[in-house]
Amino acid sequence: MRWACLLLPHLAIDGVLRRHPSPDATLVLVTGPAHRRVLHALNDKARAAGLRAGMSLAAAQALTPHFACIEYDAEAVVRHRQLLASWAYRFSSQVSTDLSDAIGPDSIGPDAIVLEVGQSLNLFGPWPRFEARLREELTALGFRHRIVAAPNPQAARVLANAHDGLAVDDNRLDTALGNLPVECAGLDADIATALVRMGLRRLRQVFALPRETLTRRFPPTLLPHLDVLRGRQVQPLDTYRPPDKFDTRIEFDHEIESSTALLFPLRRLTADLAAFLAGRDGGVQRFVLRLEHESDACTEVPVGLLAPERAAAMLFELARGRLEQASIAAPVVGLRLVARELPSFVPVGRDLFDARPQQAVPWEQLRERLRARLGDDAATGLSLQADHRPERAWRNDAAPRKAATLAAGPRPGWLLQRPIPWRGSPPRILAGPERVETGWWDGGDVRRDYYVVESASGQRAWVYCACGEVGPYMLHGWFA
Amino acid sequence: MNAYAELHCLSAFSFQRGASSARELFARAKAMGYSALAITDECTLAGIVRAWEAARETGIALIVGSEVRLTDGLKLVLLVTNQDTYSALCHLITVARRAAPKGEYKLSREQLVDLPPGLLALWIPASTDAVADGQWLRSIFPDRCWLAIELHRGPDDAIRLRDLCRLAEHVGMPAVAAGDVHMHVRRRRALQDTLTAIRHHTTVAEAGAHLFANGERHLRTRAALSAIYPPELLAESIRIAQRCTFALESLRYTYPRELVPDDHTPTTWLRELAETGARWRWPDGVPERARALIEHELALIAELGYESYFLTVHDIVRFARSRGILCQGRGSAANSAVCFALGVTEIDPARMNMLFERFLSRERNEPPDIDIDFEHERREEVLQYVFDRYGRERAALTAVASCYRGRSAIRDVAKALGLPPDQVNALASTMDRWSADAPMPDYLRERGFDPDSAVMRRVVRLTNELIDFPRHLSQHPGGFVISEYPLHTLVPVENAAMADRTVIQWDKDDLDALGLLKVDCLALGMLTAIRKTLDTLRRSGRRDLSVATIPADDAATYEMIGRADTVGVFQIESRAQMAMLPRLKPRTFYDLVIEVAIVRPGPIQGDMVHPYLRRRKGLEPIDYPPDLKDVFERTLGVPLFQEQVMRIAMQAAGYSPGEADELRRSMAAWKRRGGLEPHRERLIDGMLARGYPQAFADKLFEQIKGFGSYGFPESHAASFALLTYASCWLKCHEPAAFACAVINSMPMGFYTPDQILQDARRHGIGVRPVDVRHSDWDCTLEFAHGDITTQPAIRLGLCLIKGFAHDVAQRIQTARDAQAFIDIADLCRRANIDRRHQDLLADADALKGLVGHRHRARWAIRGVEAQLPLFATAPSSIEPRVMLPAPSVGENLRADYALTGTTLGPHPLALLRGELTAQRCQSSAQLARVEPGRRVRMAGLVRLRQRPQTTSGVTFLTLEDEYGMVNVVIWRDLAQRQRRVLLESQLLVVDGSIEREDGVQHLIAKRLQNLSPLLRGLDSVSRDFR
C-alpha cells in the first residue's frame, strides 16, 4: 500500500465544465476531421440524452439536435494533467502521469495520476485521512476521480479500473488482482481480447496457466506485465518535474526614485534572463518587471513581444522602453523579473559578412521600439485581401500575411474610410466606368460604377455611382 | 440596334463555371433577339445535345464550339462550320481528354497545327501586347482566326478596346465582339461566384481572386452591347455566325458491319438468323400467328434499317450463351417475335399483346432500345468482349451526367458560404439524399437553423438554383455505343475512372435525341442465383433444367406466392410486395406481370392499386369504353402500364405512335420540366371529340399525371416476371439449392444471408455449420447418404466468414482433397494459413470438428507454431493440457453473428423468450392467432426500417423473432414522439393492435420500447431506410 492511483475518468469534459458558464447544458466535446466528426467526451446530461463517446456527430444529431458542441482541445487536457500533477506533487515527491495512457493513446481512456504515498503517510496519514483530503481537494478543483491504493503503482492503476476506495496491501494483492476482469488489467487490447475469447475472463485464470503455454501464445510483453502487477518485478516510472521558470530579484540597499537608476539592475536581470534562456535553448515572449516599494503594493510592468526573443541587448531595450513609460508611484526598493512563458526559439541566421551599417536598427527592433514607445496599437501591419470591393481589399492586420492579389484597375493611395457625396461642380471623367458588383455573401453587396475623375481644381479623384446611372457621385479616394 | 451573335458562351456543362443551363441561355438569347448562340463549353461537348434541343425549341441557331486553354496558357474558342470540322473538334477533345486524368485535359500547340480549314478560331489574348501569340495563331489558322474583344466594364474599357484593336491590326487579324458568357442573366452572379468557390475548394469570401468583379458575363441586351462595342465588331459576329452552318442533326451514324457474312446483306442475314431461331424455338413448326409477327417485324426493321442493331444484340447474347452466362433482354423491342427467335428473350410474344410500335416507330427515325441483363458476377466478361470485338476506337460506354441533388447541393453551397463543417453536415441531413426538392423551413428549424436569417436565405436560394446542375461526368454502368467508324468522329471520348474503360461525353438521353445505337448491358444478381441453382441441380444429378424448361403454370408455385412466402425470390420479395401478394393472389403469369408493375410509386401515386384490387375482387364494376377493350381488358379497366397510356392516347385521343411516344417522354419528365399541360388539352379534347365522357377523360389524365416518371412499361415487367416465376418455382421445388445459390450470389436482393437461412430452416431445410473438414468457399449442398431424391442440407461456406480470403479457402479445399486434416497443426501447415485466418477459423467455430469448442479452438490455434519445412513431419511439441471453460449459449450466439452474420444455434429471441414472456410479449406465432383489433405486445429484432416517399411519413418496420417476421406500421406522430427509440433499437418492443385483411397482417404501433440492452453485443443487422 505504498502507491495511490488517482483515476480521472472525465478529465477532458471536467476541464471544460469547471469554467463553462452553464455546466448544466447538454455538452459534448467533438473531434476528428470535417468529414468524420466524432464525440470525444460528454457530460452526464449528454449521456442521459443517449449520446456516447465515439459516436459520430451525425449520429448524435440524428438522436437529438439539442446539444452544444465544443471542439476537443488536446492541449487543454495536457495542461490539466500537468496542473493536477503539480497539485499532487505537494503530497509526494514521486508523482507520475505515465500510466495515463495505459489504455492506449487513441482511445478515450481515462487519465490517471499515480503517486508514492508510503513516505508521505507520516505527514498526511493515516491513509483514510490522506485519501479523504485528496478527494476533497480534487472535488474542489472540479475533477471527478476514483482512488485506489496498492503496493505498486501499476497494480493501483489497474485496480482503479474496477474499484474506487480500495486499499490493498501485499498479502491481499494477488486476490484483488485475481478477481479483476482481464479487460481491466491494462493489457494490450488484442491480448486482452484474445484471452477473453479463450474463456479466460479473470486474471486469476491467467495466473493459473503454466507460464510456458502463455509464452508460446502471446507476445513477450504479457508475462512481465503480470509480474509487475503482482510485484514480482519493478517497472520504473518517469516522475513529474515542476516546470522551469525564471524568477530573479535584486534588492537595493537604498530607495531609488528615478527610472534611470533602475537601468543598471535592469540590464543585469535581462542579461541573467538571456543567459538562462540560452541555457535551456529557449526564448521569452512575455515577462513581468515587478517594482517593489516599501509600503505600497508592487508596481507591475509587463513586457510583451510579438515573437520569442533571447538577445540580451534586445530584451534590455524593450524592458527599458516599457519601464520609461510606466508611472511609478513610490520609491523602489527591489526589482524582480519573472518570466513564465518560455517558448522555444529559433535564432535568426546571421550572415558572416553582414554588410549592415552599424548604426542601422534591424527592422524587428525598430518595430518593437515603436510599439514600446507609442503603444501596441500605434503600429500595425497592412495586408491585402482578395476582394473586389475596394474598401475590403486591404486591412490593418497585426500579423500581416501574404494573400492572393487581384488584378484590379487604378486604386487611389488614399482611400477614404467612408465614401462621401461629391460636392462642387460635376467632375471631368478621365476613365471608366469600372463596374464592381460583388459581395452578396456577407450582406455587403455593392453595385457601383467607378470613375477616375478630375475636379475643377485639377485634383484626381476616385468616385462612383450606382450601376448604369450617371451621378450623383460618391467620392471614395484621392490619387496622389 | 445592331444584330449580334454570341460566339463565346459556357453552359452548365463547363462544370462549376457555367451558371446557366442551355435552355435558359437560349431562352434569353431569343428574348434579346440574338441571331445565333454558340455553346463553347471548356474542352467538352457533353452539353451540346441539350443545347441543340434548346436551340430547336427556341429557333435560335446553335453554333457548336469549345473553349480551350493550352498548357502554355493560350486561350482559344474553336467554332465548327461543317461535319469535317465537327469531327476534328471531337477528335481534338478526345486527344486532349485522354492525355490527362479524368476531369482534366491537356493540349499543346502542336495539336492545333493540322486542323481542317473549316475550323474557326477566336483568340482571347492574355494581354494587349501578346503579338507573338497572335502571329503564331494567324499562321496556324490563316484567314479564320479572329481576335475576340471581350469588354466587361473593367478598369478602363475604352483604353482596352483601343489597345486590342491595335493588337489585331498589328498581327493582321480581324477583331470581333464576344461576351465570355457564364450565365444567362446578371442575377445568376451569386450562383456563379458560388460555383467558382466550389471549383477552387474554398469559400466565396476567400475566393476573391477567382471571382469576377461584376456580373457582366451574361447575355447582355443588344442595346448595352451597342453602347460599348463599335458596330463593325458586332457585325463581324454575324459574319462568323453565318459561316457556322453545321447542324447536329446532320450527323450520320453507321452501324457496325462486320456481323454480316460477305454473301449476305444485313437484311438477308437477320432473316436467316430469325428463321434458324424460329425452327429452334418451334421445332414442330412455326405457328401462324408467330410467323405473321416475325414477317411484320422483319419488314418494319428493314424499312427503318435497324437490322444491324438486332444483329449486334444477337451477337452479344450469342457470346454470353457460348460462355454459359445467363442473360435476358428487356424492353418492348426485346419482347418481339424476332428477339424470341434470336434467343434474346424467353417471352413468347405471341402470348403477350405487346406494343411493338413503342420503340420501333416509323415516324421518328429513332433506334430501338434493348436492355440486356447479365449475371452480375460475369457481366465484366461481356463488357470486355464488346471492347475486344469492336475495339476501343469504336465501342465506348455512355456517360451519365451526375447532377446535384438536394443533399449534395446544400452541402456544397453551405461550404462555399463558409459554414463550419458541423453545420454543413447538419444542413445536409435536412435534405433527402436523392430528392430534388428545395430545403424545407421546418426541417431547418428542427436542426436549429433559422430559415429567415440572411445566411439561411442565401443557402436556400442558391441550393434551389444549384439542384439539377450537372456536376461531373461518370460512366453509365453498362450502356454501350458501338459504331462502324471511330467514335471520336461523332462525339468526344474520355477516360473513365476505372482503368480500361472509355466513355463518350453523351448520356443516354443525348443518344436518344440523336438516334445513336445503344445497347445496355446491365448486371442482375438474380440471374446469377438462378444459373447457380440450375448448375447445382444439374451437377448433383437431381434435375436438368434451363430457364426455358422450368415447368410453366405450376399450381404449387402460385400457391406459395399467394401466401407471400417469397423471401429471396426476384422482385416480389420486398415488404410492400409481400403485403400485396395475398391480396392479389397471382394465379397466372400475367398476374405476376401485374404484381411486378403495381407495387411501384407510379401506380400508387396515380391511385391505380386500389381500384384494380377492388375490381379484381368483384367489389367494383369493371367499366371501360367497349372500344378500348383490347387496351383495358387485361388490367380490368385500370391503366397500369406505360404502354396502355400510349395506346389510349392513340386510340381514344387520336395520337400518332410518334406523338404517343412524345407523351411518354413528357410523362417521364413533367415533374422536372413541366410540359404535360399541352398534352392535357390534346388528350381531353381528343377524347371528347371521339365521344368519351368528360369525367372519363379527366380521370384518365389525372392518372397519367400521377404515373409521372414512375410508370413501369409492360415490356419490362414481363421480362422481370419471367425471372420472378423462375425463382419462385425454384424456391418452391428446390428450396435448399435455391437458398444456397442466393447466398452464393450475395450481395443481392432484399435480405441478408441470415434471413435467407432462417427462412430455409423454417421450411425444414437442414443447415450445417462452417467446418474446415467440409466447407468449400461457397455454400454447398449435402445429400443424406448420397440420396438425391430428398432435399439436401445446406453446408455453409467459408465465404460467410467476414473477411475471409478466397484463396485461403481454395488452399484449404485443395489440401483437404489431397488428404483429410489430422489436427489443426496439419491444417495450418498444409493449407498455409496465416495468423489472421487462423483466428478467423477459430472464431467462426470452423475448427470444432478438429479441436472442440471455440475457447479450445482459439487456445489451440494460438499454440500452432510456424514450422520450418525441415521439421514439417515432427510432431507438435507436447505441452501441458489446460482446462478452459466452454462458451455459453449467448457467447456463441454473439460470436456467430459477429463472424458469419448468422447462427445455427437458437434464434436470439428464443434465448430471451422467458424474459420476454415475463414482460407479457407475444411471439409472432401467437400474433398470427390474435383477432384483428386486439391490443398486443410483441418483441423482435429490427430487420428493416423504411419510410417510402409514397406514404406521407409512415415508417414501416420489419421485426423478426424465432418464428418469423411481423410488419409494423408506425404513424408519423408516433415516429416523431419516439424518434430515438425508433432509430436506436435493435430489439424493439411494440405495443399496438393487429390489423389483418386478405391475409395481410400489420401491427399498428401505439408505443415503442427499446430492449436492446438485452442483446448487448449482438451483431444483428438492420438495414435502415434504404
Q: What DSSP letter does each residue of B231-299 carry, written as one string?
A: HHHHHHHHHHHHH----GGG-------TTS-TT--HHHHHHHHHHHHHHHH-TT---HHHHHHHHHHHH
pLDDT for the residue B1026:
30
Residue B613: CB atoms within 10 A of its CB come to 18
Q: How far is CA A256 from the centre of its chain?
A: 39
- Within 8 A by CB and 6+ apart from B716, the residues are B330, B331, B371
Chain B residues with CB-CB distance to A47 below 8 A: none
Q: Do B213 and A436 touch (CB under 8 A)?
A: yes
**Integer CA distances (angstroms), A207 to A203, A215, A420, B314, in order:** 6, 13, 87, 73
Which range is least confidently modeled, A221-235, A414-428, B113-127, B438-452?
Answer: B438-452
Q: Do A449 and B158 touch (CB under 8 A)?
A: no
pLDDT for the residue B930:
83
B84 DSSP assignment: H
Q: Using CA atoms, how far apart are residues B796 and B778, in angstroms rounded to an integer?
A: 7
Minimal CA–CA distance to B810: which of B825, B823, B821, B798? B798
Give the minimum alpha-carbon distance from A14 to chain B in angstroms, rounded to a whole number.
23
Which range is least confidently modeled, A299-313, A341-355, A465-479, B616-630?
Answer: A341-355
Q: Report chain A's mean pLDDT, rounded to a whole number.
A: 81
pLDDT for the residue B229:
93
Q: Using CA atoms, how far apart are residues B559 and B562, in angstroms rounded to an integer?
A: 5
Q: Do A69 and B193 touch (CB under 8 A)?
A: no
Write the residue in A57, A65, A449 that is nearest to B447 by C-beta.
A65
Q: Do B154 and A409 touch (CB under 8 A)?
A: yes
pLDDT for the residue A300:
86
pLDDT per residue over B386-427, tens digit each? 888 888 888 888 998 888 888 888 899 989 988 887 788 878
- Return the residue of B nearest to A209 by Cα: B882
Q: Which residue has the cell 476616385?
A: A462
Q: Do A388 and B858 touch (CB under 8 A)?
A: no
Res B353 pLDDT > 60: no
Report the percentage of chain B scoring pLDDT > 70: 92
Minimal CA–CA distance to B779: which of B764, B790, B789, B765? B765
pLDDT for the residue B1022:
40
- β-pairing, B964-970 vs B1000-1010, is parallel
Residue B596: CB atoms within 10 A of its CB come to 25
Q: Do A386 and B859 touch (CB under 8 A)?
A: no
> CB–CB of B732/B724 below 8 Å?
no
Q: Which neighbouring-strand residues pair with A332?
A: A256, A293
Chain B residues with CB-CB distance to A409 below 8 A: 154-156
- Return the residue of B nearest to A198 by Cα: B855
Q: Which residue has the cell 444529431?
A: A61
Report the percentage of chain B scoring pLDDT > 90: 23
User: Chain A window 22-81: which residues touch B at a Cβ cutoff of 8 Å?
Assistant: 30, 34-35, 37, 50, 57-58, 61-66, 69
Q: How far is CA B586 from the centre of its chain?
A: 29
B480 DSSP assignment: E
Chain B residues with CB-CB distance to A64 below 8 A: 980
Average pLDDT over residues B227-253: 89
Confidence label for B950 from pLDDT (cuts 50, 70 and 90) = low
Res A353 pLDDT > 60: no
Q: Name the more confident of B870 and B777.
A: B777
Residue A440: CB atoms within 10 A of its CB come to 19
pLDDT per residue over B309-330, tens digit each? 888 889 999 999 899 899 888 8
Q: Which neighbouring-strand residues pair with B401?
A: B473
Q: Using CA atoms, how far apart are residues B1026 and B1023, in angstroms rounded to an integer?
A: 7
Residue A6: CB atoms within 10 A of its CB come to 26
Confidence label for A119 from pLDDT (cuts 50, 70 and 90) = confident
> CB–CB of B812/B772 below 8 Å?
yes
User: Chain A window 118-177: which residues touch B at a Cβ cutoff of 8 Å?
Assistant: none
Q: Do B208 and A386 touch (CB under 8 A)?
A: yes
Residue B997: CB atoms within 10 A of its CB come to 11
**Integer CA distances (angstroms), B904 to B267, B469, B768, B1021, in order:** 60, 51, 7, 16
Q: Using CA atoms, how far apart are residues B416 and B165, in angstroms rounded to an integer?
A: 39
Q: Is B38 exposed, middle or buried (0-12, 13-18, 19+ CB in 10 A)?
A: buried
Q: Using CA atoms, how far apart are residues B171 and A469, in angstroms rounded to an integer?
A: 37
- Within 8 A by CB and 6+ apart from B385, the residues are B316, B319
Q: Using CA atoms, how far apart are residues B355 and B644, in angstroms rounded to an integer?
A: 9
Res B442 pLDDT > 60: yes
- Return the residue of A nearest to B859 by Cα: A198
Q: Which residue has the cell 474557326?
A: B120
Which range is least confidently modeled, A156-160, A184-188, B457-461, B662-666?
Answer: B662-666
User: Chain A window 379-438: which residues touch B at a Cβ cutoff of 8 Å?
Assistant: 385-388, 404-406, 408-410, 431-438
Which range is least confidently modeled, B73-82, B699-708, B783-792?
Answer: B699-708
Work out the end-to-end distance of chain B between its first and last CA atoms, rounded to an integer number of angstroms. Answer: 58
pLDDT for the residue B91:
92
Helices (H), A169-247: 170-178, 189-197, 203-207, 211-217, 222-229
Q: Name the more confident of A344 and B674.
A: A344
Which range is least confidently modeled, A53-62, A152-161, A333-342, B737-746?
Answer: A53-62
Which range is least confidently modeled, B152-166, B225-239, B869-883?
Answer: B869-883
- Name the grid cell of B105: 485535359
pLDDT per residue over B118-168, tens digit each? 899 999 998 888 889 999 999 999 889 999 999 999 888 889 999 999 999
- Within 8 A by CB and 6+ apart from A160, the residues are A5, A6, A7, A112, A146, A147, A148, A166
Confidence label for B702 from pLDDT (cuts 50, 70 and 90) = confident
Q: Using CA atoms, how far apart are residues B43 and A113, in angstroms rounded to an integer?
A: 64
pLDDT for the residue A405:
62
Give the minimum alpha-carbon distance from A42 to chain B in angstroms, rounded to a whole number.
17
Confidence label for B44 from pLDDT (cuts 50, 70 and 90) = very high
Minimal CA–CA distance to B724: which of B598, B831, B859? B598
pLDDT per residue over B772-824, tens digit each? 888 889 999 888 887 888 889 999 998 888 888 899 899 999 989 888 888 88
Chain A residues with CB-CB distance to B186 below 8 A: 437
Give the minimum alpha-carbon distance from B887 to chain A in angstroms, rounded to a whole number.
7
Q: Using CA atoms, how far apart are residues A84 and A12, in angstroms rounded to an integer?
A: 13
Give all strands of the β-sheet with B327-330 in edge-to-edge order.
B327-330, B370-375, B519-524, B470-482, B395-403, B502-504, B493-495
Q: Name the more confident of B436 and A449.
A: A449
pLDDT for the residue B1020:
40
pLDDT per residue over A426-477, tens digit each? 888 888 789 999 888 887 888 999 999 988 888 899 999 988 888 789 999 8
A/B interface, count of CB pairs below 8 Å: 132
Confidence label for B355 from pLDDT (cuts 50, 70 and 90) = very low
pLDDT for the residue B878:
67
* Interface ipTM: 0.71
**Integer CA distances (angstroms), B612 to B2, B616, B618, in order:** 63, 6, 10
Average pLDDT over residues A113-134: 88
Containing H/E element for B409? helix B406-416
Res B228 pLDDT > 50: yes
> CB–CB of A192/A161 below 8 Å?
no
Which amino acid is present at B828? C
- Name the grid cell of A337: 523579473
pLDDT for the residue B686:
84
pLDDT for the residue B319:
92
Give the minimum alpha-carbon distance from B465 to chain A in angstroms, rounded to a whole number.
15
pLDDT for the residue B1019:
39
Res B684 pLDDT > 60: yes
Minimal CA–CA distance to A454: which of A431, A474, A421? A431
Res A357 pLDDT > 60: no
pLDDT for the residue A108:
57
Q: Is B381 exposed, middle or buried (0-12, 13-18, 19+ CB in 10 A)?
A: middle
Minimal CA–CA distance to B182: which of B24, B63, B10? B10
pLDDT for the residue A344:
66
Backbone angles phi, psi at B475, to 5 degrees: -95, 145
Which range is least confidently modeled, B51-60, B109-118, B610-619?
Answer: B610-619
Give the minimum alpha-carbon distance from A388 to chain B in angstroms, rounded to a whole number.
6
CA dihedral A29, A32, A36, A42 (to 10 degrees): -20
Q: Which neighbouring-strand residues pair with A30?
A: A39, A71
Confidence label for B206 from pLDDT (cuts 50, 70 and 90) = confident
- Return the residue of A nearest to B203 by Cα: A441
